A = this chain, B = another copy of it.
Amino acid sequence: MTQPSSHVTAPLKDELDIVIPTIRNLDFLEQWRPFFQPYHLIIVQDGDPSKNILVPDGFDCELYNRNDVNRVLGPKSSCISFKDSACRCFGFLVSKKKYIFTIDDDCFVAKDPSGKEINALAQHVQNLLTPSAPFFFNTLYDPFREGVDFVRGCPFSLRGGVPTAISHGLWLNIPDYDAPTQLVKPLERNTSSHRYVDAVLTIPKGTLFPMCGMNLAFDRELIGPAMYFGLMGNGQPIGRYDDMWAGWCAKVICDHLRLGVKTGLPYIWHSKASNPFLNLKKEYKGIYWQEDIIPFFQSVVLPKDCTTVQQCYLELSKLVKEKLSPVDPYFNKLGDAMVTWIEAWDLLNSPAQEAAAPVDGVKKN
């Protein structure tokens, strides 16, 4: 067993869980060992629960398969997707930590242009622990980064910023394209020599963004209940919109609650382009629906008396049913699942529950 290098820092190691949805053995963790080994891992096993998932030695992790999801949530398990990486949000539900970092199992350690391995987790922590500036577009990017400040023209009353709820990281090698773009540009790659952008920026208030779940961190206490990845995959008419859905919901709630969302650094190395033909099958309704979904989220106004994430999310679920069900009856089902998700969240995250026995998956290693 390799020990983590002594010079690697593990910030917030007792306050952060790493959540990984998977259907296969987690050999990819070997490369992340120096960075991830100090942390607790929550593996959400998708698909056949009888399959045994192997985790490399030396990681502190617990694993939940579909049987565990059903056991923990009972009838409320209906809100957790099956055969789709959307199942990852079950890990957010059972975590007891303040911060979450979630990563896909085809993502590896990237190198910066100088050739140095990037500690993605440490950069996410830095993004989350420094404020955001959603009310002022700073042309020199993140004003809370060392050696940078607010440029001329920024009202001083805004310079304190707001707490950062979400840190959205990017990808070298395979970019996060939809199926049509994958089909049209099969060779397009994001390489560190010409596409590494050394910046973090706050997404302005009022602007939606396409949140990708591959390389993502968030403050569970600030925004956790909004990080629901929807109904996707098996038995649903749509896939590959799980993270987008969570991002659109979370962003309007962050805007309402004066929380920040950052995007940019850190990069991971995305190794495997998913099959564009299969993706097209999963996505095609989403590609159609997003023409209505985006204007819907752009126009959402949450009532002032919604002061918690849960209140905002329940209000949003009503609006989804009201405004999007004319697009497709699926959105009625999704709106109901959003309510079930909040019930599940409160069930597992109420003070009473936290005092009782913790929810356990299978302890590995």
Contacts and interface: CB of A to CB of B under 8 A. Distances in A.
Interface of A: 113, 136-141, 147-158, 168, 170, 175-178, 180-181, 185, 188-190, 194-199, 203-212, 240-241, 244, 247, 263, 287, 290-291, 294
Contacts of A147: 188-190, 194-195
A181 B149 contact: yes
Given A147-B195, A152-B177, 20 more contacts: A136-B208, A136-B294, A137-B203, A137-B209, A140-B170, A140-B176, A148-B175, A149-B181, A150-B177, A151-B176, A152-B212, A152-B240, A153-B247, A155-B291, A156-B180, A156-B287, A196-B198, A199-B199, A204-B204, A207-B207
Contacts of A197: 141, 197-199
Given A151-B176, A188-B149, A244-B152, A139 B181 contact: no
Number of this chain's copies in the assembly equals: 2
Nearest to A293: B155
A43 to B, nearest CB: 24
Contacts of A155: 290-291, 294
The dominant DSSP class at the A interface is: loop
A199 B140 CA distance: 11
Contacts of A189: 147
Contacts of A195: 140, 147-148, 198
A33 B136 CA distance: 36
A139 B209 contact: yes
A205 B287 CA distance: 22
A207 B137 contact: yes
Nearest to A198: B197
A240 B152 CA distance: 9
A207 B206 contact: yes
Contacts of A208: 136-137
A137 to B, nearest CB: 4
Contact of A291 (B138, B157, B240, B241): B157
A150 B177 CA distance: 7
A157 B291 CA distance: 7
A24 to B, nearest CB: 22
Contacts of A137: 203, 207-210
B294 A152 contact: no
Contacts of A154: 178, 210, 290
Given A139-B168, A197-B141, A204-B204, A185 B149 contact: yes
A354 to B, nearest CB: 35
A152 B244 CA distance: 8
Contacts of A240: 152
Nearest to A189: B147
13 contacts: A139-B170, A139-B209, A141-B197, A148-B175, A148-B195, A151-B175, A152-B210, A152-B212, A153-B178, A153-B290, A197-B198, A198-B198, A205-B207
B287 A190 contact: no
Contacts of A206: 204, 206-207
A197 B212 CA distance: 22
A181 B140 CA distance: 14
- Rank and list the top 7 A-B pairs by shortest CB-CB distance, nearest first: A153-B210, A204-B207, A153-B244, A152-B178, A137-B209, A197-B199, A155-B291
Contacts of A153: 178, 210-211, 241, 244, 247, 290
